[in-house]
A and B are shown apart, each in its own frame.
Chain A
Amino acid sequence: MANTKTPQPGLAKRESAPADPDLWIRMYQQMVQIRLFEEQVNDLYKTARMPGLAHLYSGEEAVAVGVCNALRRDDYITSTHRGHGHCLAKGASLDRMFAELLGKAPGYCRGKGGSMHIADQDTGNLGANAIVGGSAGIATGAAMSAKMRGADQVTVCFFGDGALGQGVLYEVMNMASLWKLPVIYVCENNLYNEYTHYTETTAGELTARAKAFGIHAETVDGQDVRGVYEEARQAVNRARQGEGPTFLLCDTYRYYGHHVGDIQRTYYRAKEEEDFWRTERDPIKLLAGWLVEQQVSDTVTLDQMMADVRAEVAAAVEFALAAPFPDVSEVDQHVYA
């Protein structure tokens, strides 16, 4: 089905002087890291070294990176089936991520979780949930715990446009608004629930849902990492100051299939649509262009950074490929009843 909202190429003008140029550079590196990580994951799948059902985040990097840079390490996130980007942006390391995807012992969950279930509590990542909408209550509860403990931690709940079909989303927004919980609901609208355009499954205006509960709602260009960061920062401030939840709608796009095995896509979305997003709306290119234009950096430096990240990714995947599988006896570990 055709897109109802025509995305515009390039970036909207935005007044955000680089107060801290290092921050933009770091965001650039993180987005590149996620992009190259996912390319490697796709390659591992295609060469039959990893099983299917990995859902790649490529194209959506600015959302996780913009949001997570507005958070402290001790703030919480919950993630989804499409969660690699969230984990990396919150501070997970490449080698242990790869190890988890390959089911190896040094993986974040010792190989028990896999691509759809990475948790890293040291960086505040409470865990990815592969049930659509499955994190909504959990994120809300984590926010409640911070409030009850008198801590100023904020919780971000990432979910896709598809989760808007689940009733639990509306139940948690009601509760979070009533109790003024420090939670940010980040809806990653990549236009599709699997193979169906979101307009065929989602009635009405998206942010109106949150507003109906008295929740502050914003829509942001999810390909503009500076814009995402700015909106997330304001939401985090509100949450820390006890002003309650925010709903942040990020318009974005996934470059690959719903999962790595979804390669024939033309029957549900046009090649031209994919090409448009990749060439005109790519979050990495857009930030790079801005960095050069503002003379924060130059193409030679940025290319060198990309090459450095590529080397890191290559080393990490090598580590994971060489790592041992967990011992079979671990199958019975972590069971308490």
Chain B
Amino acid sequence: MATAKEPERNEKKTMRTITYREALREAIAEEMRRDERIYILGEDIAGYGGTYGVTKGLIEEFGEKRVKDTPLAEEVIAGAAIGSALGGLRPIAELMTMNFSLLASDQIINSLAKFRYMFGGQAKLPVVIRMPAGGGAQRGAQHSQMLESLYAHIPGLKLVMPATPYDAKGMLKASLRQDDPILFIEHELLYNVKGEVPDLGVHYTVPLDQGIVRREGKDVTIVTFSRMVHICSQAAEDLAKEGIEAEVIDLRAIRPIDLDLVLDSVRKTNRVVIAEEGWKYYGTGQGIAALIYEYAFDWLDAPIAHVTGKDVPMPYSKVLERAALPGKAEVIAAVKALVPARATAGVGAR
């Protein structure tokens, strides 16, 4: 599969810099203007504008009918989204954080993911459930989780995890123009990240099944997604100064996964580091590693390395939280352990 295109050159002229938060808000507003069936529901999203400010101002433009504050009842938020989709609407459900999606997980897994199949193809479920995830702000064990792998395991769900404002907007717009259930997973520490996005009025979407090469390299492939993309890109810049050229792949979507993009890169570099914020055991990264072993085993020169969050509930204390979260140093160390002297010596090992 081809690398997804960054904006064309002629588009570049009309780019502007906005935050991830603003990109999401624009996507919602533009799609709500286009399609009257789209509405949004969640806790404190109307008057307050959402815990992370994504939905600020939407109530003024679209009114209470289409921007709905709900009681604190995640299971009902998900259930109501499903029911209203069966009734012909196109809901966006905002769950305040992914941690609370666990209260909605019965509706998500037992109904949202299953109806189309279980009812012999009858049900269309254009439901987008948005939720921030992740740690790093000392919010403690119940407010810092990256739980995408729980849902990635489930047939019947699509998981989107954009890392940049450009992708956040383009993928949210694409999500609202298709008919399948989507878990749209944001990261709490990405909302203020800035990036280039086409001017207002320039329409674009980003496909929901394509990753992107953030940085080309020949020595090692770093496969990552969500906030870790930024950490891995910084690690790659540092590594380049030491003569190691890492290719950074941003998966952008976890399910379906753009496996071709990963395998193409593995065939080129023969070494892989998978970097993610979540836990190691039975997680997304292990799933990806298993796929690489299955389809590209012969191309590997070394076992796949894995950078993950520590296998513990997130501790609160800053010294412990720092130790529990993967960072640039861990990515660099993993790469160096995989790519021994060859890059510095300037000689390929193969």
- Report which A residues bind B (CB closer than 8 A): 51-53, 103-104, 107, 109-117, 129-134, 162-167, 193-196, 200-202, 267-268, 325-326, 328, 330-332, 335
Contacts and interface: CB of A to CB of B under 8 A. Distances in A.
B44 interface: yes
A53 B143 contact: yes
B71 to A, nearest CB: 3
A103 B316 CA distance: 6
B4 interface: no
9 contacts: A52-B137, A112-B317, A114-B138, A116-B139, A116-B143, A166-B73, A328-B320, A328-B323, A330-B320
A181 to B, nearest CB: 23
A82 to B, nearest CB: 14
Interface in B268-312: 310-312
Contacts, number: 117
A258 B326 CA distance: 31
A258 B324 CA distance: 28
A164 B100 CA distance: 16
Contact of A195 (B47, B72, B76, B103): B47
A201 B317 CA distance: 34
Tell me if A's interface is mostly helix, strand, loop or mixed.
Answer: loop
A316 to B, nearest CB: 18
A332 B48 contact: no
A96 to B, nearest CB: 14
B142 interface: yes
Interface of B: 43-44, 47-48, 69-73, 75-76, 99-100, 103, 137-143, 310-312, 315-320, 323-324
A166 B312 contact: no
B90 to A, nearest CB: 24
A202 B320 contact: no
Contacts of A194: 43-44, 48
A133 B102 CA distance: 13
Contact of A193 (B72, B99, B103, B319): B72
A194 B311 CA distance: 32
A47 to B, nearest CB: 16
A83 B134 CA distance: 24
A328 B316 contact: no
Nearest to B71: A165
A165 B73 contact: yes
A103 B235 CA distance: 29
A117 B316 contact: yes
A331 B320 contact: yes
B93 to A, nearest CB: 15
Contacts of A200: 69
Contact of B140 (A116, A134, A201, A331): A116
- The 7 tightest CB contacts between A and B, nearest first, are A103-B317, A114-B316, A111-B317, A165-B71, A165-B72, A51-B138, A201-B71
A117 B75 contact: no
Contacts of A134: 142
B69 A201 contact: yes
A199 to B, nearest CB: 11
Contact of A131 (B103, B138, B323): B103
Tell me if B's interface is mostly helix, strand, loop or mixed.
Answer: loop
Given A116-B140, A117-B142, A131-B100, A111 B69 contact: no
Given A326-B320, A331-B320, A335-B311, A196 B69 contact: yes
Given A114-B138, A131-B100, A201 B70 contact: yes
B312 A196 contact: no
Nearest to B46: A196
Nearest to A103: B317
A223 B218 CA distance: 68
A166 B71 CA distance: 8
Nearest to A50: B138
Contact of B139 (A53, A165, A166): A53
B325 to A, nearest CB: 10
B143 A196 contact: no
Given A111-B316, A131-B99, A332 B140 contact: no
Contact of A112 (B72, B100, B315): B315
B47 A267 contact: yes
A325 B139 contact: no
Contacts of B318: 51, 103, 325
Contacts of A129: 142
Contact of A166 (B103, B140, B315, B320): B103
A331 B323 contact: yes
B48 A196 contact: yes
B140 A196 contact: no
Nearest to A203: B71
Nearest to B316: A114
A59 to B, nearest CB: 21
Contacts of A330: 315, 320
Contacts of A116: 139-140, 142-143
B316 A112 contact: yes
B308 to A, nearest CB: 14
A325 B320 CA distance: 9
Contact of A331 (B43, B44, B324): B324
Which of B73, B310, B317 counts the most A-chain CB atoms under 10 A from its CB? B317
A35 B323 CA distance: 34
A195 B143 contact: no
B44 A196 contact: yes
Given A166-B73, A328-B323, A196 B47 contact: yes
Contacts of B310: 331-332
Contacts of B76: 167
Given A51-B137, A53-B137, A131-B142, 5 more contacts: A103-B319, A163-B72, A165-B71, A196-B69, A325-B319
Contacts of A268: 47-48
A134 B323 CA distance: 27
Contacts of A196: 44, 47-48, 69
B279 to A, nearest CB: 11
Which of A104, A129, A193 counts the most B-chain CB atoms under 10 A from its CB? A193
B50 to A, nearest CB: 10
Nearest to A134: B142
Nearest to A105: B317
A90 to B, nearest CB: 20
Contacts of A163: 72
